[in-house]
A and B are shown apart, each in its own frame.
Chain A
């Protein structure tokens, strides 16, 4: 009861803080005077209090809160008790609010450094978004409801009033088995949310710029770092999600174009396009209107994603009405879209003076192609994701769009993107002197083709594998070639050795090279996907203890079954020894975990990782006499995780650039004069 009161008070405080920020932010933006620091503190403190109350309740097994009673059990071990705070709907919206409060706090700090109307307006927008989300928590998604009617396990009825008479159950069912099966699931949601919610910042600056009529790329410049931070977390969150699926869901894959996955990928595509087109506007004053459209799209897609994953709509449109959260999020999405685009339509004077492209054979030309492709890509994923929902809403038929639909369109679009990824960085802004482009791409194309031929001859003649290696080599060698060219030029002009100059080249333009690091990360992912998807082996075997089977160069020996009772689960599994020739490689234990009352077990694969790829063993069935095992290999699958981390790391490295910060300050000083 104490915690319910404390949490509810926190939510109320945050709601008040957000409301004050919205009202006062608008007042300040219009030239008035008002304090924004106080409400920002109130918002942050309230959000922290709410999260803390929820965490304490989970750790202390306080089943008087219905959320704890229905999502937690005394047997849930650390750190899954902590992670249960975002394992279900109500708690995850609290996490959303907390992250939003954090980003708002940072925006207010920036406002303090440069107090002008643009920043105040952005803070007001963020305050408004905070009001919506904390309003959700208070009304339709409240984890601080107290349990008023207990079941033997869990809670039957609850009340939003902390002073209601409490009837707490003695035990809860615990979180969804799939979520307590792997540590990655504890970190994946917060990381993803940092990405999702961070996209509020550029949106807020865009709306502020539109409403106030602030021209030029100032709003992009101000929100640039937040966008990159959010983008890096979003990238990392998507990769962690795929990794978790691979380690837990035991079908050997990591991505299935599932609506939940698409929900995170669509804003990523739009945000990636926005980062590139934002650069074009900063450098060439082009794409002013397009950038507003993109940033509104990014934010709307994060709300759409939240709606898709949090309203139950994916399972069936009919479950949409079971909780008021679906209509609330959908309403907010419509409000965002209609409001933003109406505002945009009334401010055409702001975007009417875009200069034209001098030449399409230029950096901006390749960025245009990149934006076109990313937008089309996003459109394809969006159609495939929401078409079944629309169909069900209108006809009542339940359908699914198969993976082949996505793959048929996504694969060619991805390779086209790689084509321009190789051209963009080697092209200068405005236009390239005749012959320069060819001089710079000649070697990368030759190297790419050579690598492709070598792969076909010695590794695998599978088309997608060859193509992936060709494009990866082409992109990477273009980047390396550019680095060598610039370092050599500096060295020849009386600088130091080429290696020392290389460091300087990178330090001098860290944001550019950080971007190239992300590019290399992307091609590493592409190679990983191509190998894992096309060169895997698969087999299914039934073994008795002592039996041995040969698979993909390994000898697999079934030793014995085992059974362990852990506090929160019963584990049944098989002890398997893996040999290569006669040499011992590893002992693996593919297993099935049975949680609480759930009689359907959750299968956990045993994964042996080696540089050339993973051996992936899944239990199909086991009894005292025999085991049925599914055997898979995933060649080079680690490249997907590594490439993803590199891609996100490029974004983070770009943010950490001090020079960039100084350059931005300089630019904005010039702009102010």
Chain B
């Protein structure tokens, strides 16, 4: 019986360990998505260098690829944030595309290390059908 109790305690230990690990890892790996308006509103919560994801549209006329790194503005219709992209641009990157940027604040601009083009969502969304869902 001692053997069985040992095994049961072992099982309980493993489960507790994994649940603990799960919950602690969760906090470390959680990134926030913010639109420019939210990012500016919550500027105090995200200090320089503290990573989050910025979602918005590349402002037409703002893209500058003359320097070593790409710079452009991102907007959500309300606020606009100047972005410097230190990583490689995504495929078919151009003005007017919706983007998702990973990076952090540096003063008044956002330094992105990674950029993704956000396609009009994937096929799962009901919004995709457009008007007829909102009848």
Tell me whether A372 and B129 are in contact in the complex, defined as CB-CB below 8 angstroms, given that A176-B123, A178-B123, A602-B119 are known contacts. no
Instruction: Decide yes or no whether A496 CB sits under 8 A from chain B.
Output: no
**Central interface residue in A356, A357, A598, A600, by most chain B CB within 10 Å:** A600
Instruction: Decide yes or no whether A354 CB sits under 8 A from chain B.
Output: no
Report chain A residues within 8 Å CB of B31.
399-400, 402
Tally of A-B Cβ pairs under 8 angstroms = 150
Are B124 and A179 in contact, CB atoms less than 8 angstroms apart?
A: no
Are B131 and A155 in contact, CB atoms less than 8 angstroms apart?
A: yes
Among A329-362, those with CB < 8 Å from B are 356-357, 360
Indicate the size class of the contact surface on chain B.
35 or more
Using CB atoms, name the residue of chain B closest to A388: B30
Instruction: Decide yes or no whether B44 CB sits under 8 A from chain A.
Output: no
Q: Mark B96-135, 1 if CB is under 8 A from A, else 0.
A: 1110000000000000000001011111111111111111
Report chain A residues within 8 Å CB of B125.
312, 315, 319
Tell me whether A156 and B126 are in contact in the complex, defined as CB-CB below 8 angstroms, given that A401-B26, A602-B119, A621-B93 are known contacts. no
Bound CA span A619–B131, Å = 34
Partner of B129, one of A89, A379, A408, A599: A89
Instruction: Decide yes or no whether B68 CB sits under 8 A from chain A.
Output: no
Are A603 and B92 in contact, CB atoms less than 8 angstroms apart?
A: yes
Instruction: Decide yes or no whether A552 CB sits under 8 A from chain B.
Output: no
Are A157 and B122 in contact, CB atoms less than 8 angstroms apart?
A: no
Are B33 and A400 in contact, CB atoms less than 8 angstroms apart?
A: yes
Bound CA span A243–B112, Å = 30
Report chain A residues within 8 Å CB of B92.
592, 600-601, 603, 619-621
Using CB atoms, name the residue of chain A closest to B97: A600
Indicate the size class of the contact surface on chain A.
35 or more
Report chain B residues within 8 Å CB of A158.
132, 135
Report chain A residues within 8 Å CB of B98.
600
Report chain A residues within 8 Å CB of B32.
397-399
Partner of B124, one of A90, A309, A372, A599: A309
Using CB atoms, name the residue of chain B closest to A368: B11
Bound CA span A489–B124, Å = 55
Bound CA span A154–B128, Å = 12
Among B23-59, those with CB < 8 Å from A are 23, 25-26, 28-34, 53
Residues of A that sit less than 8 Å from B by CB: 66-67, 70-71, 87-90, 145, 147, 151, 154-158, 175-179, 250, 260, 309-312, 314-315, 319, 322-323, 325, 356-357, 360, 372, 376, 379-380, 383-384, 387-388, 391, 397-402, 404-405, 408-409, 413, 540, 592, 598-603, 618-621, 630
Subset of 7 A-B contacts with CB under 8 Å: A66-B129, A87-B123, A178-B122, A314-B124, A319-B126, A357-B4, A409-B18
Q: Give the 9 A-B CB pairs with smallest separation, nearest first.
A: A405-B29, A398-B33, A323-B126, A402-B29, A603-B91, A312-B125, A176-B123, A156-B131, A309-B124
Residues of B that sit less than 8 Å from A by CB: 3-4, 7, 11, 14-15, 18-19, 21-23, 25-26, 28-34, 53, 88-93, 96-98, 117, 119-135
